[in-house]
């Protein structure tokens, strides 16, 4: 793993800072990203159990990191930061874990389960013992240790409780004792939701500060009493960070208030970018205009303070991360910021300039990224003030209603059965035209939008389907026509004429269920074939005809025994590979529709094969199944690599243009970039060069020179199964005769992939006799 674009931070408990080096730790699915904002580098901790991280905390010395996770039987894991290895593990919860924390002396760890678990445990992690445990009656959102490590406080829904680690608990090493706790005296705030907690520092070390969902900053004294509180003058507050005499409070609408330890107001930090901002237009400070009253901002859900560099790390609910320089709370400046997708990422496409790619998400945005620091200055997009990686954002929803996460269960009273949660939103699929001039996108309500890539202006919108658009495909220009095919869950397939302002040419309704993939393929010199597959287990071959008008006519109809979720065509246009429900990859010959090969294409033992992607050279195929990505040799079916790290279904896979990386995107809203071995990269580049030479020779109609075999082609030709199936020799090297075979052997002979292709050399006078010979004279 080389780069992660995205985060899954939900509150302050899932954000932590190393107090010595300033290392920022936050979860991104099943990965903990360790970001050094001084060196601007990332390191990663990957959970091999494939469970998403929900909370984490650094030890006071910064050498270890404790994490909590979600799912059944979640574990509390302790990691060594330097080596990124796990050193301890505790399985003491039945369901998810909401909070974890180290004691200041780094001896104890406390973990608190979710509202379904309600367990609270204290571990002596170096001795691998559970020291104390108890139950809580309310949902807990945050925990914090006192400076002397003798007590800690938990806060949550109608809950503020002080827990003691007395000497008897610390001295017991062979058994678990009940954990003693006492509720705080909340007074008028007994029905409030407390979102974050922190102990004071220095002279105020005995005070405990909390913030409430209603927008109050509260202080509790040594007697556990609510001694005083102050209004923040915001609708809600979610996060808290204490540094010396300053208290930073994260509130709604991007507001960060600063108070001193006596709860006196100090200042308000600048707001982040407004929702819906055009980042491409923000290149200099003069481009940033004064905020308007009508502009909306994301809520501040997590805050941490870096004492070394005097930076405040803030995470907002639109999945953006900011580093603020707060050395002077009255003169605050932004050091660094990242703008990530806030919802499921449905599609990834390659784009120019080199190193760029485009993503589409359920947050109703299309984003153009470039991770090359030496990006060509000739591109229409430049680096902006908000992100070094993000070049442009296209907003499909003018109201920007889905740019921020919505918390439906903050108070524990509601759930995600809210009707707003069920709304269909987001851009479902994108496709770049072969000439790189246009970008087509389809959303979840059936609309197709066309953007001009030069300036990203929308030039066309079509209400094409009654349901979400699942696939788009441009026809390559060398096929003689410029077409766009769109398919949807409504089982309709539209053919649009690009040159005639995307006018409708034809509608095909040959499928009986959702269409999952569409491809144009050239068969022979002048024949155009449209391939489509869907949830009806069908793979259709439709041929273009001009009789008298241009239209596609259904030719072959192949029916599989499993659902087809995705499809890809090799660069030569001879073979099509389908991702099947039984986790197998099936390869068919485009010319005759016969299956050439079938092999398992997933290292997972369950799930379905959802995505398949061939590299531009056709040497390797990448597949996704059960949160894992596997890479196989397309010719031999040998698994050469597998990766994991996403916490949700992987929805998109794409090889980069330089063939050095694989990009994966998932329902967790994160983008992972994986670096390929140099041997694979060289092999794919050599294969691409061979294909280009062969194509140029075909264009000039000269006999192609003998090309040296690349390792990929060598393994391809040496494979005993694929030798006769995927390479089609002009002449048969030998003859064979079946003789007198039983009926079951004859059937197996005709149905098997390789042997069925090896037709016997029939004598010109029809010398073969018998019933079998008569059948062989008929066209197959």
Stronger pLDDT, 385 or 77, i.e. the higher one: 77
Stronger pLDDT, 282 or 216, i.e. the higher one: 216
Identify whether the C-beta of residue 484 lies closer than 8 Å to the C-beta of residue 514: no
> What pLDDT, on a 0 to 100 scale, did the predictor assign at position 699?
65
pLDDT in tens, 64-113: 999 999 999 999 999 999 999 999 999 999 999 999 999 999 999 999 99
Collapsing DSSP states into helix, strand and coil, what is residue 96?
A: coil
Q: How far apart are CA 739 and CA 290, in angstroms?
A: 88
pLDDT in tens, 565-623: 999 999 999 999 999 999 999 999 999 899 999 999 998 888 899 999 999 999 999 99
Rounded to 5°, the CA angle 577-580-581 comes to 170
DSSP codes, 717-737: HH-TTTTTTTS--SS-S----
Which CATH architecture is the domain 184-282+295-340 placed in?
Answer: 7 Propeller (2.130)
pLDDT over 50 at 779, yes or no: no
User: What is the percentage of the chain residues whose pLDDT exceeds 90?
Assistant: 66
Q: How many CB atoms lie within 10 A of CB 473?
A: 21
> What pLDDT, on a 0 to 100 scale, did the predictor assign at position 376?
53
The stretch 451-468 carries a mean pLDDT of 93
Beta-bridge partner residues of 161? 154, 183
> Tell me, what DSSP letter sits at residue 170?
H
> What pLDDT, on a 0 to 100 scale, did the predictor assign at position 416?
41
> What pLDDT, on a 0 to 100 scale, did the predictor assign at position 289?
66
Q: How many CA atoms lie within 13 A of 506 on its CB side?
A: 17
pLDDT in tens, 7-59: 999 999 999 999 888 899 999 999 999 999 988 999 999 999 999 999 999 99
pLDDT over 50 at 521, yes or no: yes
> What pLDDT, on a 0 to 100 scale, did the predictor assign at position 375?
63
> What pLDDT, on a 0 to 100 scale, did the predictor assign at position 169?
61
Band (pLDDT 50/70/90 cuts) for residue 780 is very low
Locate tokens 């932590």: which residue?
16
The stretch 490-502 carries a mean pLDDT of 95
pLDDT over 90 at 455, yes or no: no
User: What is the percentage of the chain residues whose pLDDT exceeds 70?
Assistant: 83
In 10-42, which positions are buried (b, 16+ CB within 10 angstroms) versus exposed (e)? bbbbbbbbbbebbbbbbbbbbbbbbbebeeeeb
Domain boundaries, the chain: 184-282+295-340, 733-780
The stretch 678-693 carries a mean pLDDT of 92
The stretch 537-551 carries a mean pLDDT of 90
List the single range of 115-129, 536-550, 761-775 with lowest mean pLDDT: 761-775
DSSP codes, 31-60: EEEEEETTTTEEEEEE-TT---EEEEEE-T
Segments of 645-705 assigned E as strands: 650-655, 661-666, 671-675
Q: How far apart are CA 307 and CA 764, in angstroms?
A: 90
Band (pLDDT 50/70/90 cuts) for residue 420 is very low
> What pLDDT, on a 0 to 100 scale, did the predictor assign at position 360?
97
Answering whether pTM is above 0.95, one says no
> What pLDDT, on a 0 to 100 scale, did the predictor assign at position 618?
94
Q: Dihedral sign, CA of 146, 149, 151, 154?
A: positive
Largest CA distance in the chain: 108
Phi and psi angles of residue 701, each rounded to the nearest 5 degrees, phi first: 55, 40
Band (pLDDT 50/70/90 cuts) for residue 740 is very low
> What do you get for the CA distance between the two ends of the chain, in Å?
49
pLDDT in tens, 301-354: 999 999 888 899 999 999 999 999 998 888 889 999 999 999 999 999 998 777
> What pLDDT, on a 0 to 100 scale, did the predictor assign at position 735?
37
Band (pLDDT 50/70/90 cuts) for residue 380 is low
Band (pLDDT 50/70/90 cuts) for residue 286 is low
DSSP codes, 228-297: EEEE-SSS-EEEEEEETTEEEEEEGGG-EEEEETTS-EEEEPPP-PPTT--GGG--SGGG-PPPPTT---
The stretch 263-274 carries a mean pLDDT of 93
Collapsing DSSP states into helix, strand and coil, what is residue 137?
A: coil
């Amino acid at each position: 793993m080389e780069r992660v674009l995205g985060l899954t931070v939900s509150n302050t408990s899932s954000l932590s800072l190393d107090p010595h080096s300033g290392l920022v730790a936050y979860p991104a699915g099943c990965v903990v990203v360790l970001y050094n904002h001084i060196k601007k580098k990332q390191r990663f901790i990957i959970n091999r159990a494939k469970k998403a991280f929900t909370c984490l905390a650094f030890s006071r010395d910064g050498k270890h990191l404790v994490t909590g996770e979600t799912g059944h039987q979640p574990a509390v894991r302790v990691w060594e930061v330097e080596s990124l290895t796990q050193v301890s593990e505790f399985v003491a919860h039945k369901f998810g874990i909401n909070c974890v924390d180290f004691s200041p002396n780094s001896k104890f760890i406390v973990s608190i389960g979710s509202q379904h678990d309600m367990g609270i445990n204290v571990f002596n992690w170096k001795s691998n013992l559970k020291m104390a445990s108890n139950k809580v009656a309310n949902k807990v959102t945050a925990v914090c240790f006192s400076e002397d490590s003798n007590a800690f406080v938990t806060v949550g829904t109608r809950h503020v409780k002080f827990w003691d680690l007395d000497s008897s608990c610390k001295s017991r090493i062979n058994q678990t004792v009940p954990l003693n706790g006492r509720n705080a005296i909340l007074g008028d705030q007994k029905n409030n939701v407390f979102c974050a907690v922190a102990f004071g520092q220095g002279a105020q070390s005995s005070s405990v500060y909390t913030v409430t969902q209603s927008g109050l900053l509260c202080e509790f004294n040594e007697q556990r009493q609510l001694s005083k509180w102050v209004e923040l003058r915001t609708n809600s507050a979610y996060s808290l960070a204490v540094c010396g005499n300053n208290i930073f409070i994260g509130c709604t609408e991007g507001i960060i208030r600063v108070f001193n330890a006596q709860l006196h107001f100090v200042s308000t930090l600048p707001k982040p970018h407004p929702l819906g901002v055009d980042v491409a237009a923000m290149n200099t400070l003069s481009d940033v205009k004064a905020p308007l009253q009508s502009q909306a901002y994301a809520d501040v859900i997590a805050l941490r303070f870096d004492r070394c560099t005097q930076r405040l790390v803030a995470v907002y609910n639109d999945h953006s991360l900011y580093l603020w320089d707060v050395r002077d709370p009255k003169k605050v400046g932004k050091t660094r910021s990242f703008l990530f997708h806030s919802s499921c990422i449905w599609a990834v496409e390659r784009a120019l300039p080199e190193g760029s790619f485009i993503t589409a998400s359920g947050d109703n945005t299309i984003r153009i990224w470039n991770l090359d620091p030496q990006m060509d200055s000739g591109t229409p997009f430049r680096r902006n003030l908000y992100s070094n990686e993000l070049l442009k954002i296209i907003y499909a929803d003018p109201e920007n209603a889905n740019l921020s996460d919505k918390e439906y269960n903050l108070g524990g009273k509601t759930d995600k059965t809210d009707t707003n949660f069920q709304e269909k939103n987001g851009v479902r699929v994108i496709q770049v035209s072969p000439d790189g001039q246009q970008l087509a996108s389809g959303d979840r309500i059936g609309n197709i939008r066309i953007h001009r890539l030069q300036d990203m202006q929308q030039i066309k919108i079509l209400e094409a389907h009654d349901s979400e658009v699942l696939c788009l495909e441009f026809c390559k220009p060398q096929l003689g026509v410029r077409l766009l095919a769109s398919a949807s869950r409504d089982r309709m397939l539209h053919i649009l004429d690009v040159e005639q302002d995307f006018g409708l040419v034809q509608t095909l309704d040959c499928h009986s269920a959702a269409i999952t993939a569409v491809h144009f393929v050239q068969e022979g010199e002048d024949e155009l074939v449209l391939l489509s597959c869907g949830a009806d287990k069908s793979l259709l071959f439709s041929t273009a005809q001009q009789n008298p008008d241009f239209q596609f006519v259904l030719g072959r109809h192949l029916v599989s025994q499993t659902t087809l979720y995705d499809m890809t065509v090799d660069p030569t246009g001879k073979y099509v590979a389908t991702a099947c429900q039984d986790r197998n990859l099936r390869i068919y010959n485009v010319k005759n529709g016969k299956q050439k090969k079938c092999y398992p294409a997933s290292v997972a033992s369950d799930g379905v094969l959802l995505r398949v992607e061939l590299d531009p050279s056709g040497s390797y195929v990448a597949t996704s199944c059960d949160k894992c990505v596997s890479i196989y040799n397309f010719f031999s079916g040998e698994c050469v690599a597998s990766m994991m790290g996403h916490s949700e279904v992987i929805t998109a896979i794409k090889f980069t243009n330089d063939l050095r990386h694989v990009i994966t995107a998932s329902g967790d809203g994160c983008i992972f970039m994986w670096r390929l071995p140099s041997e694979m990269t060289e092999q794919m580049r050599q294969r691409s060069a061979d294909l280009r030479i062969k194509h140029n020779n075909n264009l000039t109609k000269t006999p192609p020179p003998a090309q040296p075999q690349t390792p990929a082609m060598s393994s391809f030709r040496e494979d005993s199964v694929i030798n006769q199936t995927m390479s089609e020799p002009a002449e048969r090297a030998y003859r064979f005769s079946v003789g007198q075979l039983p009926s079951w052997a004859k059937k197996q002979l005709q149905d098997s992939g390789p042997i069925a292709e090896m037709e016997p050399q029939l004598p010109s006078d029809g010398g073969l006799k018998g019933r079998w010979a008569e059948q062989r004279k008929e066209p197959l």
